[in-house]
């Protein structure tokens, strides 16, 4: 077997981190939801209602992780363009006739199966960008190339933001920005992209919100509430304020597992989903939240290490994008809960309740584990000319990848 075909063991450190975060998440979903499940007949007064479903989602996700880790990662190139087109089609269906909950329209139902296309769109964007940045290297060094690539990626971002789902839209934009930076796109093009994006982001503050169509200034008011949540603790600032109260109540070591007050009915909203990090902070204190942060930091380090070790450009970009997809979303969620970013509906990967987020996340991490098994693979090895080899090396030196 030559070096190009060598298959190594997967990155076990990464797998252990994933497993620990997943198990901790199942425990926290039970802990943060059993009071709600007992209080309402909709959940059959079953304290294990949410935990049982989360365990099922976790097992399905682990199955997807194992399958995806066994598939040679270069096979995913075939889904780069079709995957993006399918995700855009699903987002359009959501925009027109999706399921609504709490003022947001983010889901599509197929009988008993309900999916959130924006979660699939994140994976599709990572695959598409990895393919484009590998196959169209010269094009992305031009302003025209960056413009059309921004249009292609901007469509799912805009459709996701309109649901409204600002958190996932921001995650996709962060993925795009970091992958462009890793590809060595010219700084002036990045500066223009950031400037235009900032103007568009400010413009969205003045657009009407689907969740509050009768309040034209709702988005701007939410932004002002984020800056001073204590000024409107009973209305727009209620959720972020209760999250801060939960975090503050935990102190250094927390009040203990199961003793959170804010998770009870009438307390912190979305305690098992978007704001589960606040429950972690209340029950385990600064030590617990620091360990969770350390877990995602370790995941990011292992993912970027895999990207650095991988010789194939597509594998490098794919590993980078998948790592940013999970760790970037975790960082945005923690920033929201700690009032460092405006409140958006975005789950904490591997920990928050919900199969629409958990299963695609585990499948993406399975692809990352698969990349770690094939670090020496290089497509068309032996057919590259020395000129192409030198071009490839310059390309990754610009990206800061050695």
State the Rg of the chain over Cα: 22
Q: Are 163 and 118 in contact (CB under 8 A)?
A: yes
* pLDDT tens digits for range 8-31: 778 999 999 999 999 999 999 999
- Residue 46's region, left for phi above 0, alpha for psi from -120 to 50, else beta, is beta
Report the pLDDT averaged over residues 335-356. Answer: 89
Picking from 313, 291, 294, 319, the residue whose alpha carbon sits closest to that of residue 11 is: 319
135 or 230, which is more confident? 135
- The confidence score (pLDDT) of residue 293 equals 96
pLDDT one-digit tens code per residue, 219-261: 666 666 777 777 777 777 788 889 999 999 999 999 999 889 8
Flag the least confident range among 11-25, 211-225, 300-314, 322-336: 211-225
Q: How many CB atoms lie within 10 A of CB 230?
A: 11
Q: What is the mean pLDDT of residues 358-372?
A: 95
* 152 has pLDDT over 50: yes
Q: Tell me the DSSP string of 279-328.
A: HHHHHHHHHHHHHHHHHHHHHHHHHHHHHHH--SHHHHHHHHHHHHHHHH
Query: Residue 335: its pLDDT value, please?
Result: 92
CA distance 49 to 185: 48
Closest among 311, 334, 284, 285 to 134, alpha carbons compared: 311
How confident is residue 399, by pLDDT bands cut at 50, 70 and 90? very low
Q: Phi and psi at residue 282, in whole multiples of 5°?
A: -70, -40
Of the candidates 371, 368, 357, 287, the one whose C-alpha atom is nearest the C-alpha of residue 329 is: 357
pLDDT of residue 387: 40
Decide: 130 and 75 in contact? Cβ < 8 Å. no
Is residue 292's pLDDT more than 70? Answer: yes
Greatest mean pLDDT among 33-37, 111-115, 220-224: 33-37
Q: Give the pLDDT confidence score for residue 381 in this predicted structure.
A: 47
pLDDT of 202 strictly over 70: yes
The SS3 call for residue 218 is helix
Within 13 Å of residue 212, how many CA atoms lie on the same side as its CB? Answer: 12
Q: At 374, is the secondary structure helix, strand, or coil?
A: coil
Question: Which pLDDT belongs to residue 100?
Answer: 67
Q: Residue 327 pLDDT more than 70?
A: yes
- Weakest mean pLDDT among 96-105, 330-339, 350-359: 96-105
What pLDDT band is residue 111 in, cutting at 50, 70 and 90?
A: low
Q: Does 368 score more than 90 pLDDT? A: yes
4 has pLDDT over 90: no
Question: Strands 99-101 and 104-110: what pairing?
Answer: antiparallel
């Amino acid at each position: 077997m030559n070096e190009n075909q060598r298959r190594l063991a997967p990155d076990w450190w990464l797998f252990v981190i994933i497993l620990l975060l997943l198990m901790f998440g199942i425990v926290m979903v039970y802990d943060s939801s059993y009071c709600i499940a007992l209080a309402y007949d909709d959940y059959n007064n079953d304290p294990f209602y949410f935990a049982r479903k989360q365990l099922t989602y976790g097992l399905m996700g682990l199955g997807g992780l194992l399958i995806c880790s066994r598939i040679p990662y270069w096979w995913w190139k075939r889904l780069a363009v079709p995957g993006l087109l399918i995700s855009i089609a699903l987002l359009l269906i959501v925009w027109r006739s999706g399921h609504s909950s709490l003022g947001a329209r983010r889901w599509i139902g197929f009988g008993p199966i309900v999916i959130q296309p924006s979660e699939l769109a994140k994976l599709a964007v990572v695959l598409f960008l990895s393919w484009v940045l590998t196959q169209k290297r010269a094009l992305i060094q031009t302003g025209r190339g960056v413009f059309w690539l921004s249009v292609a990626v901007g469509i799912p971002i805009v459709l996701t933001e309109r649901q409204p789902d600002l958190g996932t839209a921001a995650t996709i934009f962060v993925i795009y920005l970091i992958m462009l930076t890793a590809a060595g796109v010219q700084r002036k093009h990045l500066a223009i992209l950031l400037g235009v994006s900032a103007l568009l982001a400010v413009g969205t503050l003045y657009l009407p919100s689907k969740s509050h169509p009768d309040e034209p200034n709702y988005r701007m008011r939410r932004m002002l509430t984020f800056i001073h949540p204590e000024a409107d603790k009973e209305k727009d600032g209620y959720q972020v304020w209760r999250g801060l109260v939960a975090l503050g109540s935990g102190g250094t070591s927390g009040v203990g597992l199961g003793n959170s007050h804010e998770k009870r009915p009438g307390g912190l909203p979305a305690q098992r989903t978007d704001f589960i990090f606040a429950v972690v902070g209340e029950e385990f204190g600064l030590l617990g939240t620091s360990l969770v942060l350390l877990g995602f930091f370790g995941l990011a380090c292992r993912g970027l290490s895999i990207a650095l070790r991988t010789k194939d450009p597509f594998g490098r970009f794919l590993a980078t994008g998948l790592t940013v997809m999970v760790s970037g979303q975790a960082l945005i969620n923690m920033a929201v809960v700690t009032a460092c970013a405006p409140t958006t509906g975005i789950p904490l990967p591997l920990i928050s309740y919900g199969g629409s987020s958990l299963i695609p996340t585990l499948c993406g991490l399975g692809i990352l584990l698969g990349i770690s098994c094939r670090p020496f693979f290089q497509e068309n090895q032996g057919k590259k000319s020395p000129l192409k080899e030198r071009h490839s090396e310059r390309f990754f030196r610009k990206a800061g990848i050695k």
